[in-house]
Structure 1
Amino acid sequence: MSFYTDVREAVPKVDGLVSRYVSGYVDSIQKNASQPETAQLLDLDAELDFVTTVLRSAGGEAENIGNLRSKLYKEIKVVYDKNVGRTFGNPAQRKLDLDTLMTALKSNEAKFDVGEKKMDLDLLADNKGRGESRVDRKKLAKQEKKIAAKLAKRENAGFMKELKYEKSKLLSDNNQKNYDEFFLTVNPLDLGPSEGKSKDIKIDNFDLHVGAGVRILSDASLTLAHGHRYGLVGANGIGKSTLLKALSRRELNVPKHITILYVEQEVTGDDTSVLKTVLDADVWRKCLLQDLQRINDRLAVISDEYPDANDQVQKQLDEEADDLNTNLNQIHEKLGDMESDKAEARAGAILSGLGFSLEAQGRATNTFSGGWRMRISLARALFCKPDLLMLDEPSNMLDLPSITFLSEYLLTYPSTVLVVSHDRAFLNDVATDIIYQHSERLDYYRGSNFDEFYSAKEERLLTAKREYENQMALRKHLQAFIDKFRYNAAKSQEAQSRIKKLEKLPVLEPPEQEADFKFSFPDPEKISPPVLQISGATFSYPDGRKILSDVDMTVDLDSRIALVGGNGSGKTTLLKLLLGTLQPQVGHVSRHPRLRIGYFAQHHVDAMDLSLNSVEWLASVRPGKSEEEYRKYLGQFGITGPLGLRKLGVLSGGQKSRVAFAALGLSNPHLLILDEPSNHLDIAALDALADALKNFTGGILMVSHDVVTINRVCKDIMVCENGKVFKLHGNIDDYKKHILKIGNKAGVVAEQ
Structure 2
Amino acid sequence: MLIQSLATLLSSSWVIRAAHAQQRPVSERSVGQRMMAAYVEILSREFPGLDTEVFNYVTGVLDSGSGDFESVDDLFDAVGEVLCEMSGDSKNEDDIREICQKMFNTLQINARNSSTKVLLDAPVQLSKIADAYDPLSDPLRGIWMTKRDQSTTVNAKKLEKAEARLKAKQDKRSEKDSQKSTAPVVLEEASASQASNKKEARIELSGKNKSYDVRIENFDIAFGERTLLMGADLNLSYGRRYGLIGRNGLGKTTLLKMIASHNLRVPSHISILHVEQEVVGDDTRALQSVLECDTLRERLLREEKDLNAMINAGQADGTESTQLSEIYAKLEEIEADKAPARASIILAGLGFNPKMQQQTTKEFSGGWRMRLALARALFAKPDLLLLDEPTNMLDVRAIIWLENYLQTWESTIFVVSHDRNFLNAVATDIVHLHSQRLDTYRGDYENFLKTKEERLKNQQREYEAQQQYREHIQVFIDRFRYNANRASQVQSKLKLLERLPELKAIEKETEVILRFPDQFEKLSPPVLQLDEVIFCYSPEKPVFTNLNVSADLESRICVVGENGAGKSTMLKILMGDLTPISGIRHAHRNLKLGYFSQHHVDQLDLNVSAVELLAKKFPGKSEEEYRHQLGSYGVSGELAVRPVISLSGGQKSRVAFAQMTMPCPNFYILDEPTNHLDMETIEALAKALNNFKGGVILVSHDERLIRLVCKELWVCDNGGVRRVDGGFDEYKEILQEQFRKEGYI
Determine which structure has more spread, i.e. the larger CA radius of gyration. Answer: 2
Partner in structure 2 of residue 416 of structure 1: 412
Give the 5 Å matches for 1:295-694: 295-301=307-313, 303=314, 320-446=316-442, 448-488=443-483, 495-523=490-518, 524-694=520-690
**2:629/2:662 contact within 8 Å kept:** no
Identity %: 50
Q: CA deviation at 1:234?
A: 0.8
Determine the C-alpha separation between the residues in 1 that align with 2:371 and 2:622. Answer: 43
Q: CA deviation at 1:284?
A: 1.6
> CA deviation digits over 1:69-102, x for unaligned, max 9?
xxxxxxxxxxxxxxxxxxxxxxxxxxxxxxxxxx
Q: Aligned with 2:215: secondary structure?
A: strand
Matched to 1:232, the amino acid is L
Does 1:270 find its partner at 2:282?
Answer: yes
Aligned with 1:215 (options 210, 213, 227): 227
**1:515/1:638 contact within 8 Å kept:** no
Distance 1:603 1:388, change over 3 A: same
Q: CA deviation at 1:476?
A: 4.2
Q: Aligned with 2:550: secondary structure?
A: strand
Distance 1:173 1:634, change over 3 A: closer
Q: Aligned with 1:629: secondary structure?
A: helix
Matched to 2:211, the amino acid is S
Determine the C-alpha separation between the residues in 2 that align with 1:406 and 1:580. Answer: 35
Which deviates further from its counterpart, 554-563 or 470-479?
A: 470-479
> CA deviation digits over 1:180-199, x for unaligned, max 9?
xxxxxxxxxxx999999332
Determine the C-alpha separation between the residues in 2 that align with 1:425 and 1:569. Answer: 24
Taking structure 2 as the reference length, the TM-score comes to 0.69
Structure 1 unpaired stretches of 5+: 1-170, 175-190, 304-316, 747-752
Aligned with 2:237 (options 215, 218, 225): 225
Partner in structure 2 of residue 144 of structure 1: none
Determine the C-alpha separation between the residues in 2 that align with 1:480 and 1:412. Answer: 60
Aligned length: 542
> CA deviation digits over 1:245-295, x for unaligned, max 9?
122122222222221111000001111111111111111212222222222
Distance 1:236 1:543, change over 3 A: same
Q: CA deviation at 1:594?
A: 1.2
Partner in structure 2 of residue 29 of structure 1: none
Determine the C-alpha separation between the residues in 1 that align with 2:343 and 2:353. Answer: 12
**1:434/1:449 contact within 8 Å kept:** yes
**2:713/2:723 contact within 8 Å kept:** yes
Q: CA deviation at 1:334?
A: 1.6
Q: Aligned with 1:668: secondary structure?
A: coil
Aligned with 1:722 (options 718, 723, 727): 718
Determine the C-alpha separation between the residues in 1 that align with 2:325 and 2:503. Answer: 67
**2:190/2:221 contact within 8 Å kept:** no
Matched to 1:385, the amino acid is K
> CA deviation digits over 1:518-537, x for unaligned, max 9?
10001132122111001111
Q: CA deviation at 1:340?
A: 1.1
Partner in structure 1 of residue 304 of structure 2: 292
Distance 1:462 1:613, change over 3 A: farther
Q: Aligned with 1:674: secondary structure?
A: strand
> CA deviation digits over 1:81-140, x for unaligned, max 9?
xxxxxxxxxxxxxxxxxxxxxxxxxxxxxxxxxxxxxxxxxxxxxxxxxxxxxxxxxxxx
Q: CA deviation at 1:336?
A: 1.4
**1:522/1:668 contact within 8 Å kept:** yes
**2:190/2:254 contact within 8 Å kept:** no
Q: CA deviation at 1:433?
A: 0.7
Does 1:261 find its partner at 2:273?
Answer: yes
Q: CA deviation at 1:488?
A: 4.6
- Aligned Cα root-mean-square deviation (Å): 2.5
**1:401/1:566 contact within 8 Å kept:** yes
Q: CA deviation at 1:586?
A: 2.2
Determine the C-alpha separation between the residues in 2 that align with 1:719 and 1:582. Answer: 20
> CA deviation digits over 1:622-679, x for unaligned, max 9?
3343112222222221112211111111111001111111112212111111111111
Determine the C-alpha separation between the residues in 2 that align with 1:702 and 1:402. Answer: 19
**1:520/1:665 contact within 8 Å kept:** no
Aligned with 2:708 (options 703, 706, 712): 712
Distance 1:439 1:704, change over 3 A: same
Distance 1:561 1:615, change over 3 A: same
**2:536/2:581 contact within 8 Å kept:** yes
Q: CA deviation at 1:480?
A: 4.9
Matched to 1:217, the amino acid is L
**1:192/1:257 contact within 8 Å kept:** no
Determine the C-alpha separation between the residues in 2 that align with 1:609 and 1:475. Answer: 55
Q: Aligned with 1:520: secondary structure?
A: coil
Which deviates further from its counterpart, 280-289 or 322-331?
A: 322-331
Partner in structure 2 of residue 249 of structure 1: 261
Does 1:205 find its partner at 2:201?
Answer: no
> CA deviation digits over 1:499-553, x for unaligned, max 9?
3332222111332321233100011321221110011112111252121221111
Partner in structure 2 of residue 696 of structure 1: 692
Q: CA deviation at 1:477?
A: 4.8
Determine the C-alpha separation between the residues in 1 that align with 2:577 and 2:531. Answer: 17
Partner in structure 1 of residue 176 of structure 2: none
Determine the C-alpha separation between the residues in 1 that align with 2:585 and 2:289. Answer: 42
Q: CA deviation at 1:469?
A: 3.5
Q: Aligned with 1:548: secondary structure?
A: strand
Determine the C-alpha separation between the residues in 2 that align with 1:689 and 1:475. Answer: 43
Determine the C-alpha separation between the residues in 2 that align with 1:588 and 1:494. Answer: 91
Matched to 2:307, the amino acid is I
Which deviates further from its counterpart, 253-262 or 616-625?
A: 616-625
Distance 1:250 1:554, change over 3 A: same
Q: CA deviation at 1:485?
A: 4.3
Determine the C-alpha separation between the residues in 1 that align with 2:741 and 2:537. Answer: 21
Distance 1:505 1:435, change over 3 A: same
Determine the C-alpha separation between the residues in 2 that align with 1:485 and 1:545. Answer: 92
Q: Aligned with 1:321: secondary structure?
A: coil
**1:517/1:635 contact within 8 Å kept:** no
Q: CA deviation at 1:484?
A: 5.0
**1:260/1:386 contact within 8 Å kept:** yes
Q: Aligned with 2:317: secondary structure?
A: helix
> CA deviation digits over 1:483-504, x for unaligned, max 9?
4542355765654444333222
